[in-house]
Amino acid sequence: MRIATWNVNSIKQRIENLVAWLSERQPDIACLQETKCVDEAFPRAPLEALGYNLAIHGQKTFNGVAILSKYRFDEVILGLPGDNRDDHARFIEAVISTAAGGLRIACLYLPNGNPVNSDKYPFKISWMDRLIKYTYERLKLEEPLVLAGDFNVIPAPEDVYDPPAWIEDALFRPQTREKFRALVNLGLIDAVRATTDTASLYTFWDYQAGAWQKNNGLRIDHLLLSAQAADRLSAAGVDKHVRSWEKPSDHVPVYVDLDIEVQR
DNA sequence: ATGGCCAATATGATTGGA
């Protein structure tokens, strides 16, 4: 079972690259963020042609998340609980039946939070608090759980090309990393970090200032696994080469392989 | 963290992104 996450930065602009990458990497489940597309306009056909079921939660202009799955969804839940005033399409959750019981996938697009002196930063922090509470509740189920997405969090200095330059940024400032640690410390494993200690495994390079050419990247897209999922972790990786394709997203896909059989 | 971008909107300018 291969599970991947990719912030595509517009599903309409990225559909050709997405189809090419799905054909190449062959994920069973792919979590997408920043689809920037209302559900009625989502390009379903080319993805269904590859054999994927779709769970989508979009909105006009911004945000938008989706889960593609080769397996049938038992359940799909839209939105992160905890704030009725939050109308951003940033969270979608799906359950799939496996031989080991329910496999739960949460696809998330955590708020950026910049600039930090605006109301965007408290929104990010409260969103992280809600994610912590959600995860705390879900972990009680003691099932394989994967939190997959664009967390907009640089977990550690080795995950950014120039740590001092980023210390005040919403993605890296101490309070942000503290919240991320609180999340992970509930009992989650960072799949990429569990399989390698290589620095500079970036998942994002800004379109600006020649960031890609200079390898000025960030590691902000993550797959966090519950113990029941981590016990079955066999591999993790970052598809860096996708950033060099024509018309790239500024993020690249990240994936994990779990030894989980699915009931057809 | 900026020299340099990209996407969405009815836009020829602004907002959001990271």
Q: What CATH number has the domain bearing residue A247?
A: 3.60.10.10
- Percentage of chain A with pLDDT > 90? 95
pLDDT band at A7 (very low <50, low <70, confident <90, very high): very high
Tell whether A264 is covered by a domain: no
Tell whether A156 is covered by a domain: yes
Closest nt by CA–C1' to A247: B6
d(CA A206, CA A218): 9
State the nearest residue by CA to the C1' of B16: A62
Tell whether A124 is covered by a domain: yes
Q: What is the mean pLDDT of chain A?
A: 96
Tell whether A227 is covered by a domain: yes
CB atoms within 10 A of CB A116: 16
Each residue's pLDDT tens digit, A231-262: 999 999 999 999 999 999 999 999 999 999 88
- Using the predicted structure, report yes or no on whether residue A264 has a pLDDT greater than 70: no
HSE-up of A100 (CA within 13 Å, CB side)? 16
What's residue A100's pLDDT? 72
Question: Which residues partner with A147 through β-bridges?
Answer: A106, A224
pLDDT band at A199 (very low <50, low <70, confident <90, very high): confident
Tell whether A45 is covered by a domain: yes
Active site residues of A: 109, 150
What's residue A77's pLDDT? 98
| CA dihedral sign, ordered A83, A85, A91, A96 | positive
Instruction: Render A113-134 in DSSP notation, one character per residue.
Output: --STTSTHHHHHHHHHHHHHHH
pLDDT band at A2 (very low <50, low <70, confident <90, very high): very high
Question: If you average pLDDT over residues A41-52, what whole number do you get?
Answer: 97
- Which range has the worst mean pLDDT, A17-21, A98-102, A121-125, A197-201? A98-102
pTM for the full model?
0.97
Q: How far is the CA of A42 from the C1' of B4 (A)?
A: 32
pLDDT band at A101 (very low <50, low <70, confident <90, very high): confident
Tell whether A263 is covered by a domain: no
Number of domains chain A contains:
1
Instruction: Please classify residue A27 by burial: count the beta carbons closer than 10 Å to its beta carbon, then call 0-12 exposed, 13-18 middle and 19+ buried.
Output: buried
- Using the predicted structure, report yes or no on whether residue A87 has a pLDDT greater than 70: yes
For residue A156, give its domain range. Answer: 2-258
Instruction: Render A13-42 in DSSP notation, one character per residue.
Output: HHHHHHHHHHHHH--SEEEEE---S-GGG-
Question: If you average pLDDT over residues A170-195, what whole number do you get?
Answer: 97
Tell whether A159 is covered by a domain: yes
**Residues contacting strand B at CB < 7 A?**
A 7, 9-10, 12-13, 34, 36-37, 60-62, 111-112, 114-115, 120, 150, 152, 162, 164-166, 169, 171, 204, 206-211, 214, 216, 218, 220, 247, 250
Tokens of A262: 């699915």
CB atoms within 10 A of CB A170: 21
Evaluate whether A142 touches A91 at the Cβ level (below 8 Å): no
Q: Residue A93 in 3-state DSSP?
A: strand
Tell whether A197 is covered by a domain: yes
Give the residue from A243, A240, A244, A264 showing the smallest Cα distance to A254: A240
